[in-house]
Amino acid sequence: MSDVIDRHKQQPIFYGYILIGYSFLIGFLASSFFLHSRGIFFPMWMEEFGVGRTEIALVITLTLFTGSCLAPVIGFLIDRYPIRLVSSVGACWMAIGYLLLQWVDSYFAFALVLICFQGVAWGTLGPLVQTKLMVNWFSRNRGVALGFAIMGISVAGIMMPTAATFMAESFGWRNTYSFYALTIFLVIVPATIILVKQNPKAIGLHPDGDKSSPEIAEIQKSQTNFQVYKEFLTSKAFWSVVLTFGMMNGVYSAMITHLPSYLTMDLGFSLYDASYALGVAGGFAILGKIVFGWLMDHFDAKVTVMLAVVSYLFSQLILIVAVSYPPLLLASGLFGMAFGAMIPVRSVVLSRLFGVEKFSRVNGLLAFFLAPATFWTVIAGYVADNHGYQTIFQIWAVAFLLAGLVTMVIKLPNRA
C-alpha cells in the first residue's frame, strides 16, 4: 500500500486533474445519449408512436422526475459507498435500457423503458456524482474545477445535436441508441473502474494538490442520517437555495427538448438549423461554466447568481419577439450561458453551507425538492399544443423575473 501511495505522490500531475478529465468525458457521453439527443428524436418519436407533443413531453418529464426523486437515495449512496461501484452499476443499467429500445413497439413500452432505465441511471453518472468528485478533490479551486469537470455536458451540447441528426437520419433512432449502449459498455464502465478514486486521502494526497490540508478544516459531528437530513430541512440556508434555483430549474431541459420542434414545425427551419441552435447553447454553456465557476471563487455569490438570472431573462425576451435565425441564435447563446452557470454555482454554494462530507446528501435532497420543475417539459408541450410556444416563453420570462427578485432578498454564502 505504501508503494502505491508513494507512486501517486511522485506523479508529475495532480490526480484531481485526471478526474476533471474523467468527469468531462462522462458528462460528455452520458448527456449526449438523452439530454442532447432527445430534442432531435422528439419529432421522430411523435411519428413512430402516433402521439402529439404533450404525450412525448410527458414521457420525458416522468423520466426526469424519476431521476430527481431518486436523487436523495443516490446522494446517500455516493456519500457512503465507493463512487466507482455506484457509477459502474448505474452505467450498466442505462445501457441495458438503451438496448431494450430496439424492441419497444408501443408508446407505453417506450415510456416504461425510458422511465425505469434512463430515469434511474442518470443520477449515477450525471452532475450529482461528478460534482461530488470535484468537491472531494478540490477546495481553494473548487468553482473552477467544477466548471471544467461539468463542461463535457456543454461540449456535448455543441456536437451531439448535429451528430444525433446524422445518426438518426442514417441509421434510425433505435440503432442510434444501440450504439449508445455499446459506448457505455466499452468506454464509460472501464473508465469508471480504472480511474475513479474516492478522495485524495485514498491515495495519500490532499485537496488541490497541496502538501498539507487547509489550516481551517471542517469540524465533523457524529450524526445519524436522520440528524443530517433534519439539519438540512430545518436550515434557512437550504430553503434559500431551493427558492433561488427552484424557478430556474428544469427550464433548460424543457427548452432543448422543444426548441427543435419550435424551429422546425413552427418557424419552418430545417432540423440541421435546429441542431446548430442547440450547438450554440452548448457552446455558451461552456463559457458559462468557466466564467461563473471563476466568479464564485473570487466574487460575491449573489452578484454571480443575478448575472445568470439576467442572462436567462433576456434569452426569453428575445424568443418572444424573434422570428429570424440570428436573434434566435443569440437567445440560444444567452440561455446556454445561464444554464452553464447553474451547476458550478449551486454546487459551490451547497459545499460552503454544509461541507464536503454531507455534500452529496444535501445535493440529492435539493434535487428532490427541485423535482417539480421537471414538469416544465410536459407543461411546455401542452401549452405549445394549445396556445403556441410564444406563451411558454412569456411564462418562463416571468419565472426568471421572480427568481431574480428572490435572489435579491436572500443571503448566499461567499468564499469566506
- The residue to which cell 448575472 is assigned: 307
CB atoms within 10 A of CB 13: 8
Query: Rounded distance, CA 410 to CA 101, Å?
Result: 45
Q: 214: pLDDT confidence band, cut at 50, 70 and 90?
A: low
Has residue 265 got a pLDDT over 90? no
Q: What is the pLDDT of residue 316?
A: 92
Residue pair 200/136 in contact (Cβ under 8 Å)? The answer is yes
Q: What is the pLDDT of residue 416?
A: 57
Has residue 247 got a pLDDT over 60? yes
pLDDT in tens, 353-368: 887 777 778 878 888 8
Q: What is the pLDDT of residue 103?
A: 93
pLDDT in tens, 43-58: 889 989 998 888 998 9
Quick one: DSSP state of residue 209?
A: G
Q: What is the mean pLDDT of the chain?
A: 83
Q: What are the boundaries of each domain within the chain? A: 10-202+224-409
Q: 223: pLDDT confidence band, cut at 50, 70 and 90?
A: low
Positive or negative CA dihedral for 84, 86, 87, 93? positive
Q: What is the pLDDT of residue 381?
A: 83
Has residue 383 got a pLDDT over 70? yes
Closest CA to 404 of 336, 270, 313: 313
pLDDT in tens, 140-183: 777 778 778 878 887 887 888 888 889 988 999 999 999 999 99
Q: What is the pLDDT of residue 168?
A: 87
Q: Which amino acid is at 288?
A: G
Looking at mean pLDDT, say which of 73-77, 101-105, 411-415 comes out highest. Answer: 101-105
Closest CA to 91 of 172, 231, 196, 219: 196
Has residue 390 got a pLDDT over 80? yes
Query: Rounded distance, CA 374 to CA 56, Å?
Result: 14
Give the three-class secondary structure for 48: helix
Q: What is the pLDDT of residue 5?
A: 45
Q: Which amino acid is at 262?
A: Y
pLDDT in tens, 85-135: 999 999 999 999 999 999 998 999 999 999 999 999 988 998 888 888 888
Q: Which amino acid is at 170?
A: S
Query: Rounded distance, CA 12 to CA 53, Å?
Result: 53
Residue pair 292/147 in contact (Cβ under 8 Å)? The answer is yes
| 10-202+224-409 is a CATH 1.20.1250.20 domain | yes
pLDDT in tens, 317-350: 999 998 899 999 999 999 888 888 887 788 788 8
Identify the residue with better confidence: 202 or 309: 309
Which contiguous run of DSSP H or E holds residue 303?
Answer: helix 301-321
pLDDT in tens, 5-39: 444 445 578 888 889 999 999 989 988 888 878 88
